[in-house]
Amino acid sequence: MEHKKPEVKFSAGGISAAVWLNVGQTNEGKPTEFRTISLQRAYKDKKDQWQHTASFRLNDLPKAALVLTKAYEYLT
């Protein structure tokens, strides 16, 4: 199975926002493109393996705001 890659990714420390290009159809059945944004935090578990989560700590919020602002600026 082929893994889709994000159109662009913004990172600050372990926090990242990815912009994904999606293809769909309008109500009239015409093809259309739209973008979605995913936000995640990377961390190492007890076995020193990288993991990802959509849960954030208080200190993660400024970095989350930064990468979301960069994604917003990219999209607009």
| Residue 42, strand partner residues | 52
| Amino acid in position 8 | V
Percent of the chain with pLDDT over 90: 93
pLDDT at 45 over 70: yes
Q: Which of 47, 48, 73, 59 is nearest to 15 (CA)?
A: 59
d(CA 54, CA 39): 7
Whole-prediction pTM value? Answer: 0.85
Residue 3 pLDDT class (50, 70, 90 cuts): confident
pLDDT of residue 1: 60
Helix, strand or coil for residue 32?
strand
Mean pLDDT of the chain: 95
**Average pLDDT, stretch 13-34?**
94
Round to whole Å and give the CA distance between 46 and 37. 29
Q: d(Cα 17, Cα 37) in Å, to the nearest integer? A: 7
